[in-house]
A and B are shown apart, each in its own frame.
Chain A
Amino acid sequence: MNKKFYRQIEPYIWIAPSVILMAIFIVLPIFSVFERAMNKVTRAGKLQGFNNFENFTKVVNDPAFGLVLKNTIVWTIAVVVISTVLGFCLALVLNNNFKGRKIVRAIVVFPWATTLVIQASVWNFIINTDYGTLNTLLLKLGIIKQAVNWTSTPEAYFAWEIACGIFVTIPFVTFCVLSGLQSIDTSYYEAATVDGANYWQKLRSLTLPLVRPSLTVSTVLNIIYVFNSFPIIWTMTKGDPANHTDTLVTYLYKLAFYNGKQGEAAAVSVIGFIILLICASTYMIYTLRKGDDT
């Protein structure tokens, strides 16, 4: 009896440390953020009781919030969609046999392996009007006569940030898809070739359905990562000018640590959490169900 009991309890003992760690470092902070969002919080960080969702109404009524929400959606969709398409294409290329494939694969990892703050600083350095390498290069090549201000409007700056976001996200997608591609049995393609399918038909009817699980994983993770991404925007613009390049995460950081409004920052955090939860779970349910149907 004792041995049997031990055997049954054993797996729980093994997973207990990670469950406890997760509870302390993930569940507790989430709980604390929700608590803060519901409470009046002084600038010095003291909680002063439930304040009837005032943090939420204040945040939602702030004219900047709509703009920030729009930016966040544009940022997430643009980065995730474009990097998924480009990453997928790159994976298809890298899945072929060619000379130097290993070196190319190693190079693709570089943007992923570098710290985001460094990446963003380098992009800032490239596009800077006064000492940027892009202007210097174009001037040297004689393509432009005068230094161009690449970031003359907030929208332009935001577009550069999105470009940087795409650049650092592609490797992750590429490697997810590549792992999916490599697990596909080549006999499928041989059979399709025998049946007379062309390249596009094979891509649509074989490759895409077979890498869907990998694509789902990479897309869900990317939605979460990109939505919550802080370093690129913070390093490049800090959300300036006037919230025009802010996303929810940089916005709430400013609220908490520049404006001292921790309660409102927590409210923004909760709103972001709920949006993410809905988006990610909808996407997962949709794709997994579709996978079951076929």
Chain B
Amino acid sequence: MKKILTALLAVCLVLSMAACGGGNNNSTPAPAPDANPSTPASEPAPSGEKIAINVIAAEYGQNTKDWWAKFQDEFNKANTGIDLTVEVVSWNDIYTVVNTRITGNAAPDILNIDVFADYQADGLLLPAKDYVSEATYNKMYPAFLEQSVVDGTVWAVPDLASARAMYYNVDILKAAGVEVPKTWDELKAACEKIKAYDANIYPWGIDMTTDEGQAAFAYYIWNNGGDFTDASGNWTLNSDKNVEAIEYAIDLVKSGLTNSDPANDTRYNLQDMFGAGKVAMMIGPNSIPTYIKDGGSTINYAFAPIPTNGGNASVSAGVMDRFMCFDNNHSPEKIEAIKTFFDYFYDDARYSDWVLMEGFLPATSAGGEIVAKADASMAPWVEIVGSCKFYPTAKAEWADVKQGVINVEQQALLGGNVKELLDNLQKQIAG
């Protein structure tokens, strides 16, 4: 009797597992018509029923949730036929949340995140022109839109950006008798002077951590005339200029002119040390003033273009986030509703409010003008952001390249040969 019961229980168990497992992990995507039952493919929504739009948005800071809550209320009041829901998710969880939703065939209609190429590669996205009205589309900086192009089509639209510059401690540089460096030679000389002035100060801050080591890579190669790719988009990770640039950065570390542990000191550690007067110069984003002020620091600092080599013009690194629209078999009415959402969001006044909320930079020219007027300290940044370079995030290999260059930097810190390491990476990425 016991045996029979045990067997029965085991069968129940296996069945319950099978029942749960089946819906979750089909190895082939479910047929399209079932993909999103809440949005009928061709039938218009019955009159009187609201069109539901769900948005997943990244949480940029403490104000993001409140901002979106207010936005949702106002939007739903202004557009009675649409029922907008915005779910704000922290950066730590957003990739997992989105991937789980996609796996469960419940992708959001609109997503606000940094990357898009992986979703595009899986054929999950709609072209930007399909869901953004022409008037709104034309507001965006063309240089920004180009960052979301795959196969000649723009797949995502920029929501905001941040840019980088060199911050320096005015008092330390003055006391050490150093001018603000503009070239790499001047930078190294300045670092040596600062070190001679006070051995307890780190003249230069470098972050080569898993967190953001790719940024350091970009700062040095771009300001040495190198790049991740050539003009036609082929990877050029091991170009001579890139090798020279990374060797220069590693040499600064090896000469003892930087923070002692670049593989573990994140940008936030560096910002803390900069705020405490322990680091004299570092490259950082436009949000540093807010960060330093919130940290209670009173140091006297300023910012300048990132030093360059070989007579190249200084290049700032831009980071850009995006909106994208998932292809959930939307009805024409729903597409119109989504267009309304974007028109509402990119309304000049509302958009500049969005950008200023967390101290970011605008991705539209009209927004730029308003932001520059509203906050004088942002004006030089608005100028910088119009001309900065971006990571090649539109390329499918970017995630591998990003981890690859961080690995190269860390191997080089441990004594590896930069040229060999970059040759290997290039071979691995480009085949």
Q: A: which residues have CB within 8 A of B?
A: 8-9, 12, 16, 19-20, 23-24, 27-28, 31-32, 35-36, 39, 42-50, 129-130, 149, 151-152, 154, 157, 237-244, 254, 257-260, 262
Contacts and interface: CB of A to CB of B under 8 A. Distances in A.
Given A46-B122, A48-B27, A259-B399, 15 more contacts: A9-B5, A19-B9, A32-B21, A32-B25, A44-B102, A44-B121, A47-B26, A129-B260, A130-B259, A238-B264, A242-B407, A242-B414, A243-B407, A258-B210, A260-B118
Nearest to A42: B122
A46 to B, nearest CB: 6
A242 B21 CA distance: 37
B273 interface: yes
B153 interface: no
Contact of A239 (B98, B124, B210, B400): B210
B75 to A, nearest CB: 28
A239 B403 CA distance: 13
A35 B25 contact: yes
Given A47-B27, A259-B400, A31 B17 contact: yes
B17 to A, nearest CB: 6
Question: Which of A50, A237, A238, A240 is the most central at the interface, judged by chain B CB atoms within 10 Å of its CB?
Answer: A240
A20 B13 contact: yes
A32 B210 contact: no
A20 B16 contact: yes
Contacts of A35: 25
Contacts of A50: 27
Interface in B97-153: 98-100, 102-103, 118-119, 121-122, 124
Interface of B: 1-2, 5-6, 9, 13, 16-17, 20-21, 24-29, 95-96, 98-100, 102-103, 118-119, 121-122, 124, 208-211, 259-261, 263-264, 273, 278, 399-400, 403, 407, 410-411, 413-414
Nearest to A64: B407
B99 A151 contact: no
A254 B210 contact: yes
A28 B20 contact: yes
22 contacts: A12-B5, A16-B9, A23-B13, A32-B21, A36-B25, A39-B27, A43-B118, A43-B121, A44-B122, A44-B124, A47-B25, A47-B27, A49-B28, A50-B27, A130-B260, A149-B260, A151-B261, A237-B264, A242-B263, A242-B413, A258-B210, A258-B403
A259 B403 contact: yes
B210 A45 contact: no
B96 A42 contact: no
A16 to B, nearest CB: 7
Contacts of B122: 42-44, 46
Contacts of B96: 257
Contacts of B21: 28, 31-32
Contacts of A28: 17, 20-21
B421 to A, nearest CB: 10
A241 to B, nearest CB: 3
A23 B24 contact: no
A242 B411 contact: yes
Contact of B5 (A8, A257, A262): A8
Contact of B9 (A12, A44, A47): A12
B98 to A, nearest CB: 8
Nearest to A262: B99
Nearest to B20: A28
A151 to B, nearest CB: 6
Contact of A45 (B102, B208, B211, B414): B102
Given A149-B260, A259-B400, A46 B20 contact: no
A23 B410 contact: no
Contacts of A243: 407
Contacts of B16: 20, 23-24
Contacts of B209: 238, 240
Contacts of A239: 210
A7 to B, nearest CB: 11
Nearest to A129: B260
A257 to B, nearest CB: 7
B209 to A, nearest CB: 6
> Which 9 A-B pairs give the minimum distances between C-beta atoms?
A241-B263, A43-B118, A45-B99, A241-B410, A242-B410, A240-B263, A47-B27, A242-B411, A44-B122
A49 B27 contact: yes
Given A239-B210, A258-B210, A24 B20 contact: yes
B413 A241 contact: yes
Nearest to A36: B25
Nearest to B262: A241
B210 A154 contact: no
B264 A44 contact: no
B277 to A, nearest CB: 12
A28 B263 CA distance: 38
A76 B174 CA distance: 51
B174 to A, nearest CB: 23
Contact of B1 (A8, A16, A46): A8
A176 to B, nearest CB: 32
A31 B17 CA distance: 9
B261 A45 contact: no
Contacts of B210: 238-240, 254, 258
Nearest to B279: A130
Contacts of B102: 44-46
Q: Which residue, of A24, A28, A45, has the highest number of chain B Cβ atoms within 10 A?
A: A45
Contacts of B2: 8
A244 B413 CA distance: 12
Contacts of A43: 118, 121-122, 399
Contacts of A244: 414
A254 B364 CA distance: 34
Nearest to B273: A130
